[in-house]
Amino acid sequence: MADQILQFLLTGITVGATYALVALGFAIIYNASDVVNFAQGEFVMIGAMSAVALSAGDGGLPMPVALLLAVLITVGVGVLLQRFAIAPARGASVVTTIIITIGASIFLRGVALLVWGKDIFALPAFSGDAPIHIGQATLLPQNLWVMGGAGLMVLGVHWFFGHTTIGKAVLACSCNRTAAHLVGINVGLMMLIAYGLSAFLGAMAGVLVAPITFTSYDAGVMLGLKGFAAAILGGMGNPMGAVAGGLLLGLIESLSAGLISSGYKDAIGFVILLLVLFFRPSGLFGRASVERV
């Protein structure tokens, strides 16, 4: 039984790390503009799909180059999305902007369908498929890549918002856009940076998990949804909360699949999410929002 539990925990952490990476992307754009970017899952998909496209076949690029280019392409998409879809709606309310991101996600999915077709693709694992044994439980080297990558990026994001001028400027835009503008912050540029960074995180998540989960033009839908749930669970706008939410959601799913019923694991995950929102509406680690009148 102990072996089983250990395996469930390892599985939960692996799946959770994936959710956490996606959730992190949500948190950054939310931090900068109070907008939930529903195209976040599509960033993940574009990262993974471009990596597959660039590295596939005999004329393909070597893996590290392909991964780097894939991430750059996705950052480009993120910046273009901000510049041509979000920025023109500058005066619009947050809800309108969120609806624009939903539209953008459908558009990006459509483009991916036209460019790459409907097939499912796999990316080769970075360092082999030989499982690593921990007692009776096992995990794959790629799982370590996902966990390590997630860990590094969380620290990076934490440092960016807490210790760099640009990071603090991005945060300032979220607190009060007009005031930020008045003290000389280039709000437009900060928004570009936020979307670029968020696309970067999405793409990293995409290339790290693609060897385990495979990818297709519509792979972003479910990952986006789970990442969003994780971000809500942890508390929107708190990068650490997003990560905690992701890990928690992964663990809940894997433990309920293992110990209760695999058919109900998603339901159990969402019931717990609802309970958390009921008792702590701003998420486990979110600041309570104060409405000033």
Partner 1 sequence: MNIRKTLATLGISALVGLSAAQAVAAGTIKIGSFLAVTGPAAFLGDPELKTLQMYIDEINTKGGVNGMQLELVHYDTGGKAKEAVGFAKRLIKKDRVDVIVGGSTSGSTLAVIPLVEKDRIPFISLAGSVKIIDPVKKWVFKVPHTDRMAAAKIFEDMKKRGIKRIALISGSGGFGKSGRSQVLALAPEQGIEVVSDESYGAKDTDMTAQLTKIRNTDAQAILCFGFGTGPAIVTKNVRQLGIELPLYQSHGVASKKFIELAGAAAEGVRLPASALLVADKLPASDPQKGLLLAYKQRFESKYGPVSTFGGHAYDGLMITVRAIERAGGTDKAKVRDEIEKTRGFIGTGGIFNMSPTDHLGLDLSAFKMLEIKHGDWTIVE
Interacting residues with partner 1 (CB under 8 A): 4, 7-8, 10-12, 14-15, 18, 113, 118-120, 122, 129, 131, 133, 138-140, 209, 212-214, 216, 218-219, 221-222, 253-255, 257-258, 262-263, 265-266
The distance of closest approach from Cβ of residue 261 to partner 1 in the complex, given in angstroms and rounded to an integer, is 8
Q: How far is the CB of 102 from partner 1 (least distance, A)?
A: 18
Choice between 15 and 39, CB closer to partner 1: 15
Helix (H, G, I), strand (E, B) or coil at 261: coil
Give the C-alpha separation, 71 to 65, whole Å.
Answer: 10
Distance CA 205, CA 167 (A): 21
* Residue 123 and residue 67 in contact, taking contact as beta carbons nearer than 8 Å: no
Q: How far is the CB of 145 from partner 1 (least distance, A)?
A: 14
Asked whether 31 and 162 are in contact (CB, 8 A), the reply is no
Smaller CB distance to partner 1: residue 96 or 129?
129
**Amino acid symbol at 85:** A
Nearer to partner 1 among residue 140 and residue 194 (C-beta): 140
58 or 119, CB closer to partner 1? Answer: 119
d(CA 207, CA 68): 10
- Minimum CB separation from partner 1 for residue 252, in Å? 11
Q: Which of residues 159 and 264 has its CB atom nearest to partner 1 in the complex?
A: 264
In whole angstroms, how far apart are CA 10 and each of 5, 13, 17, 63, 140?
9, 5, 11, 27, 10
